[in-house]
Amino acid sequence: MKRKNKKHILFPAALLIYVTVLAVITYPRYRESGDWNEYYSVIGISLLLAVLLFFILKRKQKIREQFTKKD
């Protein structure tokens, strides 16, 4: 039995972990500066990109499976 490669889960999860670590590391800097708009916008855009990447990779995997089943 062959295991399926779950890239559509692995890459967005790695990106979410990366964003979380960066948010924790940069929190003291933004707390001192008080520029919360920049902090939340960077985190929000990164989270949005992770979600979009998940759906794009999932769709790509479905298309790939459809072509392999036809052969």
Q: What are the extents of the domains in the chain?
A: 7-66
Q: What is the pLDDT of residue 2?
A: 57
pTM of the complete model: 0.78
d(C-alpha 47, C-alpha 19), whole Å: 8
Other beta carbons within 10 Å of 59: 11
Residue spans of the chain under pLDDT 50: 1
Q: What does the buried/exposed string (b/e) look like for 27-44 if buried means 16 or more CB atoms within 10 Å of the residue's CB?
A: eeebeeeeeeeebeeeee
Kindly give, in sequence order, each residue whose CB lies less than 8 Å from that of residue 61, ignoring residues fewer than 6 positions away: 7, 8
